Structure 1
């Protein structure tokens, strides 16, 4: 095809929407727009990428292509290295201007973005990047970060362009299936992807499902329905964080003068949800400011604690949900099937792996990343380290899987749904089936060691030993100095933290 006069190429990454999309909006002001998505083998074959991710992306891409086609120019898709794809487009289109959102991803996407910038500069191609959340590139000081976040979240929501001139002669490219990308078969389901699903979830949460959120978020019995479930949509950008924040503020304003009892619950829940929207960018900022936390602990000497003690049998039992701890096993199996767990249960399964099984977060982090539909590297690595005790500034909180089960699944409903071996186990023993007398095991058709495993560790003894080893490290003067540096660089500025060296008894919950 003959070169087209100065096309505006909009490179979609983790921003699969047409509404409130600044690169698309700005490009549409300056000439014909070519929307582009690149399926990159280096990203797809990385150890933190799973089939569930691609299935969510693929569904979102199909809707995005249709939304853009309705405006005149469908999305084009290419499979390959980003620089090589852009080189080919350069040959086909001539000089173009490139637009994209900034991305705080894993090291692969970080190196990819650097290579694209270098190539664009070498070819005298203008490359415009725009922020899309509260993460600040080249942040010199955490002081004032929250004000930047607030300012960004109050900016106008940008409309989708009404009409895009059609660029003829380019092959659109097929959106590949998981099989075509040679990804493993999806073990379970995914949430409905796409921009429309995101908008529907937002409205149903704010006006129908969210009233009990502030307490429902702790239990897997209620969280699946009463949490927002927007996290994968925010992670892959089928809705902008700003859109969610402004819709929430509108809802809070509507509730302000409502004095009914029902409104009281709504107000608590909306406040709690707003706090978590702040946390989203807060944690991603940690990775933006310190990319090394993907590979090493915030305080590197903590890497020595577990790296030589990997127990493959423990790891396999944990992955398969066959640890002998019903709440852990139910959560792991639910995660494999649905790609989702509520925050408290996420913390519990990481705590169990890191403390009770003494597994290094670097050894099990990729497995979890593959399972979460909403995998967000900045949040993922920060949370893995927080729950593993390697940040040096957070409380060592070790969750008792038995207590968590009794507190958040008292009737064993969640456990029996996901661990069918225990369906006939009496309520008295549902959280500790190994304590069943032999006659009860026979009556329940659940022989421990045959139908369901014995607990693979003593969770009380292993928790005690884990605390001893962590606090032994924390008392070292050189680690205290490193912890001060981590706090200065990454700590929240909202209020003084007293969590860096908690009392020794603040342990099991």
Structure 2
């Protein structure tokens, strides 16, 4: 009996619950469906597709090495699955649950309708700590910890042969996607394994202290985020490998213990933020607290938006971060937060427009994390402390020697260090080939703070904020070790519980 095994954002063979279930049911027929419409969405980009394409090809090689193959089909998922059902006679479909964007959510509902109509049993399995149809957050952390402590599933040694035909896998250009990211990370399982090993063995020692720096963080951060997003590595693999390394370094005072604890916390917060989108898919397009709808203009100021997108705001650290992101597809978490904060507060741009641009720029775009963070950094959740980053201060704090800023803004080469983050104050500013700032930093922050707090001052605000807290806020200290699966002592969740940032690892 053939079983269709549908790969989506789980492009690996190790620790793959769906693969193991497909083996138990019957002969697995591994399938990947390349959906052109998905890659026409506002949050899709060539850099993401190029990473995915490399990962799909690597997965196909791994399957072929085990006697199987990856059947690649191009087109609509429902139509592709129906053709495969007719070709194989399969009455079972197995995949992992996906917490994706609104388009994939709607597609999965169409697939569910098709499966019911055709008598196909579709089993969707979790591959992370995200819980579908969660009734309450009160014991979510304990459930997540139990999943992470569960037995890892080894990659199969051999699989049954597959003789179905495949469609050619197009490149980015064939889908009208520009792969304009010369320094992006490469995709594929091998790169994921190498990154995890190098982080745990050497690179990660200074992670806790270096992760906030856009310069040092590029090497000190794990850089696993795109691999977790596309599933070339499971979160459980990362969690358990980190736990093993934690046992090795226990008692040492060389930085390793603190850094590994920080990585475990961010892996936990990753699932926490993805759970928000799973519980409330509308947060991708609507403010989590409805009082903030319409706070900023729906049609953003075109000139400001374009300056921010290109890294030409006249605010050096902001522009350096954006240009680095454009070229590499990656930025450390604090600088991602700053980019969103400056766009939302200083430039007063609405988060859906700026969030879509950042989604396209991030090779590691993960909808559940991304949209929750965009709202958090824009002050529209109703429960988080306002974080209005001062880009001048951030530049001085995180790039004190100016190396990062000068690398990405060569037009500021002659500006003295004292004025690097405020070149408009330098006496030679008029001869620079660099724009004047689009806003006054202090004045814009003051106006934004007043506008956001005015919304919170409404007497009815707190009632909806209480609903958001009850549904989405953390119930526990994310620092607690993952293998402790006892239920945390219950307490009422509080506004600000989600102040931790987790846009990247």
Q: TM-score range by the shorter chain?
A: over 0.9
Would you say 1:252 and 2:246 are equivalent positions? yes
In structure 1, distance between residues paired with 2:347 and 2:269 = 28
Q: Which residue of 1 aligns with 2:431?
A: 447
Q: Which residue of 2 aligns with 1:82?
A: 77
Report if aligned partners of 1:395, 1:501 keep a CA contact under 8 Å in 2. no
Residue 31 of structure 1 deviates from its aligned partner by 2.8
Residue 188 of structure 1 deviates from its aligned partner by 3.0
Give the count of matched residue pairs: 484
Q: Which residue of 2 aligns with 1:471?
A: 453
In structure 2, distance between residues paired with 1:44 and 1:189 = 21
User: Counterparts in 2 of 1:294-313, with a 5 A limit?
Assistant: 294-308=284-298, 310-313=300-303
Q: Structure 2 residue aligned with 1:92, among 66, 87, 94?
A: 87
The superposition leaves residues 365-423 of structure 1 with CA deviations (integer Å, 9 ceiling, x where unpaired) of 11110000110101011000000000000011100100000001011100111111112
- Out of 476-485 and 488-497, give the one that drifted further: 488-497
Would you say 1:328 and 2:312 are equivalent positions? no
Q: Which residue of 2 aligns with 1:164?
A: 159
Q: Which residue of 2 aligns with 1:506?
A: none
Would you say 1:316 and 2:306 are equivalent positions? yes
User: Counterparts in 2 of 1:136-175, with a 5 A limit?
Assistant: 136-168=131-163, 170-175=164-169
Residues 185 and 254 of structure 1: CA distance in aligned 2, closer, same or farther (over 3 Å): closer
Residues 309 and 26 of structure 1: CA distance in aligned 2, closer, same or farther (over 3 Å): closer
Structure 1 residues without counterparts, runs of 5 or longer: 1-5, 503-509
Q: Structure 2 residue aligned with 1:398, among 382, 388, 391?
A: 388
Would you say 1:135 and 2:130 are equivalent positions? yes
Q: Structure 2 residue aligned with 1:38, among 22, 33, 39?
A: 33
Q: Which residue of 2 aligns with 1:429?
A: 419
User: Counterparts in 2 of 1:173-184, with a 5 A limit?
Assistant: 173-184=167-178
In structure 1, distance between residues paired with 2:329 and 2:339 = 14
Residue 70 of structure 1 deviates from its aligned partner by 0.4
Q: Which residue of 2 aligns with 1:3?
A: none
In structure 1, distance between residues paired with 2:165 and 2:497 = 59
Report if aligned partners of 2:304, 2:438 keep a CA contact under 8 Å in 1. yes
The superposition leaves residues 236-284 of structure 1 with CA deviations (integer Å, 9 ceiling, x where unpaired) of 10000000000111111111133xx42xx11111111111011001000
Q: Which residue of 1 aligns with 2:475?
A: 493
Question: Structure 2-normalised TM-score?
Answer: 0.94
- C-alpha RMSD over aligned residues: 1.5
In structure 1, distance between residues paired with 2:474 and 2:189 = 32
Would you say 1:376 and 2:370 are equivalent positions? no
Q: Which residue of 1 aligns with 2:207?
A: 213
Secondary structure at the counterpart of residue 211 of structure 1: helix
The superposition leaves residues 146-191 of structure 1 with CA deviations (integer Å, 9 ceiling, x where unpaired) of 00000000111101111111122x2122221011112124243320
Report if aligned partners of 1:11, 1:100 keep a CA contact under 8 Å in 2. yes
Would you say 1:285 and 2:279 are equivalent positions? no
Would you say 1:417 and 2:417 are equivalent positions? no
Structure of greater Rg: 1
Residues 276 and 461 of structure 1: CA distance in aligned 2, closer, same or farther (over 3 Å): same
Would you say 1:105 and 2:100 are equivalent positions? yes
In structure 2, distance between residues paired with 1:138 and 1:35 = 27
In structure 1, distance between residues paired with 2:473 and 2:313 = 35
Q: Which residue of 2 aligns with 1:62?
A: 57
Structure 2 residues without counterparts, runs of 5 or longer: 478-491, 499-505
Higher relative contact order, structure no. (Cα contacts within 8 Å, ≥ 6 residues apart): 2
In structure 2, distance between residues paired with 1:423 and 1:15 = 45
The superposition leaves residues 401-453 of structure 1 with CA deviations (integer Å, 9 ceiling, x where unpaired) of 00000001011100111111112222111111111113xx5xxxx724xx000
Report if aligned partners of 1:285, 1:378 keep a CA contact under 8 Å in 2. yes
Would you say 1:194 and 2:184 are equivalent positions? no
Residues 130 and 501 of structure 1: CA distance in aligned 2, closer, same or farther (over 3 Å): closer
Would you say 1:228 and 2:222 are equivalent positions? yes
In structure 2, distance between residues paired with 1:309 and 1:460 = 24
Residue 144 of structure 1 deviates from its aligned partner by 0.3
Residues 266 and 49 of structure 1: CA distance in aligned 2, closer, same or farther (over 3 Å): same
In structure 2, distance between residues paired with 1:181 and 1:365 = 22
Q: Which residue of 1 aligns with 2:487?
A: none
Q: Which residue of 2 aligns with 1:13?
A: 8
Question: Structure 1-normalised TM-score?
Answer: 0.93
Residues 345 and 381 of structure 1: CA distance in aligned 2, closer, same or farther (over 3 Å): same
In structure 2, distance between residues paired with 1:23 and 1:244 = 18
Q: Which residue of 2 aligns with 1:505?
A: none
